[in-house]
Amino acid sequence: KKQQQGPVAAWYGALFRWLNEAWGKEVAAFKRGEGEGAASSQGDFGLKTLAALFSKLIGLTRSSSSSPKVFLKPILREASVFLGTLLKHIDALGDSHEVKEVMKELQRGTKIIHIICSECKTENPALASKVPALKRTVERFVWKCRLLFYRDDTFTMGNLKHKDLRGQVVLSQLPLNVASMDCDSVAVDDGKSQESMLLDNSLPLSFEL
Q: Taking 90 as the threshold, does the pLDDT of residue 56 lie above it?
A: yes
Count of domains forming the chain: 1
**Cα distance between the two ends of the chain:** 44
Can you give the pTM of this predicted structure?
0.70
Q: Are strands 176-180 and 156-160 parallel, antiparallel or unpaired?
A: antiparallel
- The mean pLDDT value of the chain amounts to 74
Q: Give the pLDDT of residue 86.
A: 93
Cβ neighbours of residue 155 closer than 8 Å, sequence gap 6 or more? 145, 146, 149, 179, 181, 187, 188
Q: Give the pLDDT of residue 27.
A: 92
Interatomic CA distance for residues 180 and 188, integer angstroms: 11
Quick one: what percent of the chain has pLDDT higher than 70? 63
Does residue 16 contact residue 74 with C-beta atoms inside 8 Å? Answer: yes
| Amino acid (1-letter code) at residue 13 | G
Cα 140–chain centre separation = 10
Domain encompassing residue 35: 2-207
Q: How confident is the model at residue 170 (pLDDT cuts 50, 70, 90)?
A: low
